[in-house]
Each structure stands twice: as C-alpha cells, then as structure tokens.
Amino acid sequence: MNEKLTIALTKGRILKETLPLLARAGIEPLEDLSSSRKLVFATTRAEVQLVIIRGTDVPTYVRHGAADMGVVGKDILLEHGAQGLYEPLDLGIARCRLMTAGPVGWQGSGARIRVATKFVNIARRHFARQGVHAEVIKLYGAMELAPMMNLADLIVDIVDTGNTLRANGMEPLEEIAAISSRLVVNKAAMRSRYTAIQRVIDDLAALLEADDAAA
C-alpha cells in the first residue's frame, strides 16, 4: 500500500468547496491545481497526497483501496452504492437537491411515464416506491431538452437554483433527496491506517462543529 495517505477529490464545484475546508485542516496542495495537468498532488502534510478525479470514480478508487479516503456527492453514493465504504462525515458543502422535474403544469395521464436521467437506479427506486411504472432513459446531460423534444415526460436531476429549469419552461416537482458532499473511507484502510485516517476525520469534524456553533 502507498505509504502516503491518499485522498480522492471530486473535480468541479465540489473540489472548489473542499479545498478551503482541507486548508483549514492544514492540508493544502503544494502547487496550484488549476494551472497543472497533474492528477496527484503532494500537500503541506507530508504524509497526505491528493488525487483529483471524476466524482463517479471516487467511490471506486476508495472501495478498491487505490485511495484511502475521498470526498464525493451523496447523489453518487445513492446511485452507485457505498459498499466497502464508511461515511463518517457530512461535510455540508456543495448542497443541492435531487428532484423530479417536468414542464410547467405537467399532469400525469396514467401509471406509465418516461423519465430521462443519469441517475437511473435512483429514479427506478423512487418511482417503484410510488407504484408508478417508469421507463427510465439514460442521458448524460441537457436533461431539460428531453421533455421539450418529447423524449421523456419528466426528468430526475440535480437542482441548485432552478434557473435552468425555468429558462426551459420546467419546474421542480418532488424532492427525492437532499444532497451534500460526504467524506468516505475505505473500510480496510480504516483498520490498517487508523491513526492517520482518524486524525483527518477528527480535524474536519472539529471544523464542522465550530462552524455549526458559530452559525
């Protein structure tokens, strides 16, 4: 096993909100991530390194022990499962909602609908719980286009401000889950590298508690 403690971080908005939190815990990359093509970065803690990858890959890297810990959105964990992972902290960052959405004024006409989403497992579970037969169509982006082009009746997607929905004649309908970023830990690494991992968890937990107390 790599002697350095490896933390896998999710690219994009989550990374931008994770880095300041890690910095407060004394973990900062030694170079500017935005101007580097590298994917692995040494940090101000000599025993800790960061790897920057796609959010959907973070649980896989952590589950298989390529990374000891990771930061990933709860939506990814709900969609792909969290087997082999501990989830010790809700970091409370990159907050949003996973919702159903449809054209303004949409009314269902029967027990069968078509749903476009990249969260196919979550969507199937959600509509099955409601007793609705949903044909789930997997898309990778521009979900709002699917109802406009008569590909789907509804979508399941991440909603932040809702501005994109409104701009495309749609509205949020039902919240499936409140989403934020979570710290995940490989179960085997938690046993074999307990002291190093627990130090990071404790440092981050103390920061979150202080923020809550100050709010």
Mean pLDDT, 10 residues at a time, the chain of 215 residues: 86 96 96 90 96 96 97 96 94 96 86 92 95 94 93 95 92 96 97 95 96 86
Q: What is the pLDDT of residue 1?
A: 46
Q: What is the pLDDT of residue 110?
A: 67
Rounded CA gap, 185 and 84, in Å?
9
Domains for the chain: give ranges and CATH numbers: 5-94+180-214 (3.40.190.10), 96-176 (3.40.190.10)
What does the chain come to in residues?
Answer: 215
Torsion of the alpha carbons at 190, 195, 201 and 205, rounded to the nearest 10: 140
Sequence-distant (6+) residues with CB within 8 A of 171 are 101, 102, 103, 104, 162, 165
Report which DSSP code applies to 158: E
Helical pair 13-24 and 194-214, crossing angle rounded to 10 deg: 100
Give SS3 for 116: strand
Q: What is the pLDDT of residue 35?
A: 87
Q: What is the pLDDT of residue 26?
A: 96
